[in-house]
Amino acid sequence: MMISVKEIMAARALSKSGLPELDYSLNPYLGCLHACRYCFAVDFTSDREARESWGKHVAVRSNIASVLGREVVRMPRGLVGISTITDAYQPVEGKYRLTRQSIKLLLENGFRITVQTKSPLVRRDLDILSGYRGNSDVGITLTCLSRDKSDLLEPGAPSPDSRVRALEELSYEKINSWIFYGPIVRGFNDDPETVNGIVEISRALNSRIIFDRYASYHSAEAMMVASGFDRNSLSHDSRWWSDVSTRILEEARKRGVMANSQSEEWKNTTSLYQQKLF
Ligand code: SF4
């Protein structure tokens, strides 16, 4: 596959986040080579080339670390979401190391970070993360456990096995880690084998699960359908979602695993940080 990478200048590094659980978001890259068919970021990406050839083009905000270096001195401390729009550990990070420089700057200056990624490259930065266990956490996304299914849904992403190995290493290093199971698509990755497998991994690693269903966004829906997903399986169905949620929560309860839906997550996160404050 032909990919292209270009360097651009960032005017700001930290953005105020619209997500209730975050104070800021930080995204060193626009566009994402993981090329997920369901990616909602397509509709929110300002770079035209990245938007028009999703998964094949990345804009690198090459000066982000120097901009961030000035911002961390003057901006109020808070919780920063790393990878809210694109995966900060996608392949180009191996060369540019902008995420590594950014999390180091943030943690050294008293900010807290929460990372979400599909890439085992995050293990490279364990030396930084292990120095700030109380101020950082890492979520690994698992959509499924089979390489075949992963190739359909997220053709540029590292294999599910490699992500599970990354989770193992995070757990071994006692980094606060969690699994994001989603997006769950009706008839695709809502089967008992996937549900039970992900809950069992979480139990074995003493991790927790946040899960969510597929949500329809304009460009993502077109990519999903073009990849062979049936439009009916993508439509909103509250009864199906209630059944799937109940099954996940029931399996988690049986194994003593903490699990909650994405919609409940911000309450959970807020209470976690409130516990630290009081
Ligand atoms: S890893 Fe995340 S940002 Fe990258 S394509 Fe997939 S869903 Fe989009």
pLDDT level of residue 262 (50, 70, 90 thresholds) = confident
Instruction: Find the 204 Cα to ligand 1 centroid distance in Å.
Output: 26
Pocket of ligand 1 contains residue 117 by CB under 6 Å: no
C-alpha 252/C-alpha 161 separation (Å) is: 21
What pLDDT, on the 0 to 100 scale, is given for residue 269? 57
Q: Residue 274 pLDDT > 60, yes or no?
A: no
Instruction: Find the 276 Cα to ligand 1 centroid distance in Å.
Output: 31
Pocket of ligand 1 contains residue 244 by CB under 6 Å: no
Pocket of ligand 1 contains residue 58 by CB under 6 Å: no
Residue nearest atom 8 in ligand 1 by C-alpha distance: 39
What pLDDT, on the 0 to 100 scale, is given for residue 267? 55
Pocket of ligand 1 contains residue 41 by CB under 6 Å: yes
Q: Residue 261 pLDDT > 80, yes or no?
A: yes
**Conformation bin of residue 165: beta by default, left when phi > 0, alpha when psi is -120 to 50:** alpha
The domain locations on the chain are 4-277
pLDDT level of residue 106 (50, 70, 90 thresholds) = very high
What pLDDT, on the 0 to 100 scale, is given for residue 278? 28
pLDDT digits (tens, 9 = 90+) for 144-154: 999 999 999 99
Q: Which segment of 87-96, 109-118, 201-210, 260-269 scores lowest on mean pLDDT? A: 260-269
Cα-Cα-Cα-Cα dihedral sign, residues 123, 124, 130, 132? negative
What pLDDT, on the 0 to 100 scale, is given for residue 20? 82
Domain range 4-277, its CATH number among 3.40.190.10, 3.30.1300.10, 3.30.70.1520, 3.20.20.70: 3.20.20.70
Instruction: Find the 217 Cα to ligand 1 centroid distance in Å.
Output: 14
Pocket of ligand 1 contains residue 140 by CB under 6 Å: no
Instruction: Find the 87 Cα to ligand 1 centroid distance in Å.
Output: 6
Atom of ligand 1 nearest to the CA of 117: 1
pLDDT digits (tens, 9 = 90+) for 165-187: 999 999 999 999 999 999 999 99
pLDDT digits (tens, 9 = 90+) for 15-73: 998 778 899 999 999 999 999 999 999 988 888 999 999 999 999 999 999 999 999 99
Q: Residue 271 pLDDT > 50, yes or no?
A: no
What pLDDT, on the 0 to 100 scale, is given for residue 273? 39
Q: Residue 264 pLDDT > 90, yes or no?
A: no
Top mutation candidate among 1, 34, 85, 141 for ligand 1, by most atoms within 8 Å of CB? 34
Pocket of ligand 1 contains residue 36 by CB under 6 Å: yes
pLDDT > 90 in the chain, percent: 85
